[in-house]
Structure formats: C-alpha cells, structure tokens
Amino acid sequence: MSILKKAVNKFTGKDIDRLEEAVQGSNETIEYLQESIYQLEQQLQEVGWQQLGAWSQKEFSREGLRQINMMARIYFLKNPLIKRAVLTQSQYVMGQGINIEAEDEEVDQVVQDFLDDPKNRQELTEQQALMQKETELQLFSNFFFVLFVNRATGKVRVRTIDPDEIEDIITNPEDSKEPWYYKRVYYARKYNMETGQYEEGHQQVVYYPDWNIRRPRGTIGGHPVEQGAYIYHVSVNKLTGMKFGVSEIYAACDWARAYKEFLENWASLVKSLQKFAWKKKTKGTQKQVENLAKQAQSSFQELEAGATAVMGQGNDLEPVKTQGATISAQDGRHLKLMVSAATGIFEHYFGDPSTGNLATAKAMERPMELMFRDRQQLWKSIFQEILNFIIKQSVKAPQGLLNGEVYQDDQGYEFIQLGNDTEGEERSKMINISFPELLEKDTHARVEAIINAFTHQGMQIKPFYNIKYVTRLLLQALGEDNIDEKLEEMFPEGEQPALPAGQEGEEGAESNRHPNQLFIEAMQELREQVQLLAGEEGNNGRS
C-alpha cells in the first residue's frame, strides 16, 4: 500500500467533511479574488490609467491617452466650464492674429509665399486655423506637423496628423530626447464614387522621419518610411521622459463634471420642493379630507395661473415656501473654483461678473497675462522653427529662391549661410514675429514710451534706430490691423522716408540738418497729435 493511501485511510469521515469545506471555502476565495482582480483591471482601463510597456513608469499608455483625448473632445463640446476656459485662452492668445515679416526682402518673399499658400492658410496660417490650432493644443497637447518638401523648388506645405494615429516615437537609444521616427498606424477608408459608399478600410503602418533626419531609411520592420515628408512634433503639459503631452484640461474634467452633477442635483431638489405649490388645512374626518384632496387636485388642474381660491370657514390655503432651502446653488462654488485652478482662468470669466471689478476688467490678472504671454512665446518659437526649415529648403533646392550654402556639424545637423545682397552684405535670416498687445492699455502712454525710447526725450544722439522698425512699433501701439500693407505704403521700395510735415524748406536745406533731429521732430509732432486725440477721447467720455 502506498504512503498516500495509508495517509488517506487515517482520515475519518468528519475529517473529509472538514477538508471538503476548506476546499470549497478556498474555491470561493479564489473566485472572489479573481473577480476583484478583474474589477481592478477594468479600473486600470478607465480614462488614462492603463500603463503598459517599458515606459509604464513615466507616462500613460497610448490607449490611455486616446481615452483622455476623447474625453477632452467631448467635454469641450458639451461642458460650458471647459468650453469657456479653452476659448478664453484661445481668444487672448490668437484672437488678434500674429505678425510675421523677415528683415531681408528675398527671405521675406519665401516666408510670405509659405504663409499665403492656400493649403497652408487652411491648415495653419489664416485666423480661423490659428484659433483652431490653439484650441486643439489645449485639448490634445500634441501636434504632429507634417512638412511636405518639393525637392526641386524647396516649397513646403504643412499638414497635421491626428495624435491618436501616432503609435510610437522612436528615439536615439543613447539619447531619449532625440526623436528619429514616428510610427503611424491608421485605417485608410476610400469613398467609392460608383456605389456612393465608403469601402472598408484596412490598417496601414508607415513611419515618418523627424525633421532633423537628413537621410531617412527606406523601411523599418518591413514598413515604408515616408520620403520628402518630415514631422515636427510640438507637445505641452508633459514631464521629463514623457514622449507625449497630456491634455491640459485633464485636471479640470472631473471637477467640471462634479459641478455639473451638483447643479443637476440642486435643480432636482428645487423641483421636488415645488412639487406641491400650496398647503391647505381643513377640519373633518379622514374620509372628508380624502374627498377634499381629490376635489382640490381636479380643481387645480383646471385652473390657470392667477385664479382665486374660494373656501369656507375652517379652511386655510397657503403657498409652500421654498426660500431658505438647506442646499443653495452657491454651495457648489468651490467645485467651480477647482476648474478655475486647473485651467488658470479666473472665476469671473465663467459668466459671473459679480466676482470681478473694474480693476480686473481693465487690467487682466497678472497670472493669466503671464500664462497667455508664455503660450504666445511658444507659438513664436513654433513659427520660427518652421520658417527656418522653409528657408533651409529654399537654399537646398536647385530651383529655390534663395542662394547660400548648407553646412553640417559633427552630429550631422544642417546649418545654412545665405548669400550676399546687392550691397555685398550677407542676407539676414532674422524673422520678426510679434503679437498685438494682450491688454487694451493707454494708447497715449504706449506711444509716449516708444517716442521717448528712440529719441531719449528729445536729446540729439547718434542714430541707432531703424525708422521702419520704429514705425511698426507705433502702428502696433495705435492698433493698426494691416501693418505690413501700411509699411509698404509709407516706405516704398527705393524711396527715402518722407520728411516731417513743414520741414521741406528750400532745396538742399534739409541735407545740412542732422537726421536724428528730423526724427525727433517727427516724433514730437506725433506726440502732439496723440495728445490731441487723447484729449478728444477724454472729452467725449465726459460729455
């Protein structure tokens, strides 16, 4: 007899019963644990919490980010707090447009050709596109600009790829901050013109080189690498080591939902308190009370608002008072403040002017102003990077408009040096990118500051200014919209700036006067005109 059988024979029937109970209890415990693990896995798959792969300790998974993007899209379209916060920032940052002009005429021609291209206007450079891009940057925190280069002419067209389609960013194994390729996974759907229906799409995998890759590979893992199309990735709201940015409104969504639910519950409470509008007291038996209740119900249903109630002695009819309910709509203010804290938008911008005052209306809160200026600086760098890329492509292309040379450093990065202009000087690559002032400040004070800065309050000093640049600043201060067009009218190519009014004098008289003096007199005249204008505005305001 085996040792196992001997051991089994020693057990009594009660022992076996206890073992069966223990096994049954263990099975129930295992089933409970399995159910708990399943629930935890389901929670991990909720918005943004699923973490997979080697980067699981540093950022959300791609599926988690897709869920966050979907939530951000829905909340922007449906939730008033999120929509107002996003649009407030978009309107301040991009609502007045952006001014872009290169110092060199030929370089500016290349820049303006890119900005005026109909495809580029639709995607990036026209006003509606700028507003949309700022909105989407807040919602999805990632832009994948695709720069399509015409190798013959050097012209560039820009498009964007849906962030949800970028599956991975392949980086330098020795430097995780240096992107090499972007893996795009998407489903291509075609519209059949014969049937008038979309055909079932199939999954496609394609790689795009980073815009700093000079000679991209032909394939990766058997999948093609796009040639002549480069990705410039812009991301915000991320930490070191993260490949992708996380939606800037992610921190606000839960509180926006909580505030929405609070107001819904409060409305339900008010509705329940108003279910009975009147209270009536009467004397009599229970049967009499029930009959009177039936009569009142049928009578009140037939009566219109404002009807007169007529009753006999011993009856009393009074309205149900809902004033002073235990829960007020103002009790949810702290939930709204959490949305304000998460988005950086102050409370009175959410439709409650009572929380603001004249000072905050005239001079926006400093934190918000800095936040918007910071975003404008980001957009300046984005345009600067893209336009530098365009200038480089124009130099490299055989039929490009710009002449110059391309150099490489020891790391393989390319740099350009433009050719000389007609005067033998190297052409400038400088591009002036500016936004109008965020706040409507005192026009007179701003013009006065510009004039004093460039004339040293009337002192005759050696000229160090560019009068065209000063004029641009003045036009911006005065709120002119079409600055470039005005500058072209004021400074036609090949002509000298006009002398101040009343200074023409005799022929050759002005040639003996210091040019700085002419400029000072022009600024003084402008100061007087602005003072007159400010005085007229003040009188109109007091009248």
pLDDT tens readout for residues 7-50: 555 555 666 667 677 767 666 666 666 666 555 555 544 444 44
Task: Report the pLDDT value the prediction gives residue 384, as an integer from 0 to 100.
Answer: 95
102 and 111 Cβ atoms separated by less than 8 Å? yes
179 and 169 Cβ atoms separated by less than 8 Å? yes
Confidence of residue 490 (pLDDT cuts 50, 70, 90): confident
Tokens of 64: 């988690």
Burial class for 434, CB neighbours closer than 10 Å (0-12, 13-18, 19+): middle
Distance of CA 519 to the CA centre of its chain: 42
pLDDT at 135 over 90: yes
How far, in Å, CA of 390 to CA of 130, rounded? Answer: 19
Closest residue by Cα to residue 436 from 484, 476, 384:
476
450: how many CB neighbours lie within 10 A of its CB? 19
pLDDT at 502 over 50: no
484 and 101 Cβ atoms separated by less than 8 Å? yes
Task: Report the pLDDT value the prediction gives residue 385, as an integer from 0 to 100.
Answer: 95
Task: Report the pLDDT value the prediction gives residue 474, as an integer from 0 to 100.
Answer: 78
Confidence of residue 116 (pLDDT cuts 50, 70, 90): very high
Task: Give tens-digit pLDDT for 148-157.
Answer: 999 999 999 9
Contacts (Cβ under 8 Å, ≥6 apart) of 515: 463
Task: Give tens-digit pLDDT for 70-109.
Answer: 999 999 999 999 999 999 999 999 998 999 999 898 999 9
Task: Report the pLDDT value the prediction gives residue 371, as an integer from 0 to 100.
Answer: 94
Tokens of 178: 């240096």
With H, G, I as helix, E, B as strand and everything else as coil, classify residue 281.
strand
What's the Cα-to-Cα distance from 357 to each of 66, 190, 362, 364, rounded to whole Å?
Answer: 40, 55, 9, 11
How far, in Å, CA of 374 to CA of 185, rounded? Answer: 33
- Percent of the chain residues past pLDDT 70, beyond the cut: 65
Task: Report the pLDDT value the prediction gives residue 500, as an integer from 0 to 100.
Answer: 45
pTM, to two decimals: 0.69
- Average pLDDT for 439-448: 70
Task: Give tens-digit pLDDT for 323-357.
Answer: 655 667 677 888 999 999 999 998 888 877 666 66
519 and 483 Cβ atoms separated by less than 8 Å? no
- Average pLDDT for 173-192: 91
Beta-strand relationship, 278-281 and 223-224: unpaired
Tokens 């919602």: give the residue. Answer: 139
Produce one character per residue of 200-211: b if its CB has 16 or more CB atoms within 10 Å, e if not.
Answer: eeeeeebbbbbb
pLDDT at 243 over 90: yes
pLDDT at 115 over 50: yes
Task: Report the pLDDT value the prediction gives residue 349, as an integer from 0 to 100.
Answer: 86
| Longest CA–CA separation in the chain, Å | 135
What's the Cα-to-Cα distance from 145 to each of 59, 97, 170, 209, 361, rounded to whole Å?
Answer: 22, 20, 16, 12, 37
Tokens 């400038």: give the residue. Answer: 428
- Percent of the chain residues past pLDDT 90, beyond the cut: 39
pLDDT at 175 over 60: yes
- Average pLDDT for 442-457: 70
Q: Could you tell me the end-to-end alpha-carbon distance of the chain, in angstroms, rounded to an integer? A: 118
pLDDT at 313 over 60: no
Q: Which of 72-81, 481-490, 518-527 shows the lowest mean pLDDT across its residues?
A: 518-527
Task: Report the pLDDT value the prediction gives residue 499, as an integer from 0 to 100.
Answer: 44
Burial class for 1, CB neighbours closer than 10 Å (0-12, 13-18, 19+): exposed
Task: Report the pLDDT value the prediction gives residue 375, as an integer from 0 to 100.
Answer: 96
pLDDT at 455 over 60: yes
Q: Where are the domains of the chain?
A: 3-44, 62-251, 369-542
**DSSP E strands, 189-274:** 191-192, 197-198, 202-209, 219-220, 223-224, 229-235
Higher pLDDT, 138 or 267: 138
Q: Which of 129-133, 245-249, 265-269, 511-515 shows the lowest mean pLDDT across its residues?
A: 511-515
- Mean of the per-residue pLDDT values for the chain? 78
With H, G, I as helix, E, B as strand and everything else as coil, classify residue 189.
coil
Q: Which of 204-218, 236-250, 272-286, 362-376 shows the lowest mean pLDDT across its residues?
A: 272-286
DSSP string spanning 65-108?
Answer: HHHHHHHHHHHHHH-HHHHHHHHHHHHHHHTT--EEEESSHHHH
Helices (H), 242-322: 250-273, 286-302
Closest residue by Cα to residue 161 from 231, 70, 67:
231
Higher pLDDT, 381 or 417: 381
pLDDT at 511 over 50: no
How far, in Å, CA of 87 to CA of 93, rounded? Answer: 10
Type of residue found at 369: E
Tokens of 40: 């935890």
Higher pLDDT, 498 or 91: 91
Higher pLDDT, 384 or 283: 384
Task: Give tens-digit pLDDT for 192-232.
Answer: 888 888 887 788 999 999 999 888 999 999 999 999 999 99
Confidence of residue 69 (pLDDT cuts 50, 70, 90): very high
Tokens of 197: 């229906």
**CA angle, residues 228, 168, 229, in degrees to nearest 5:** 10
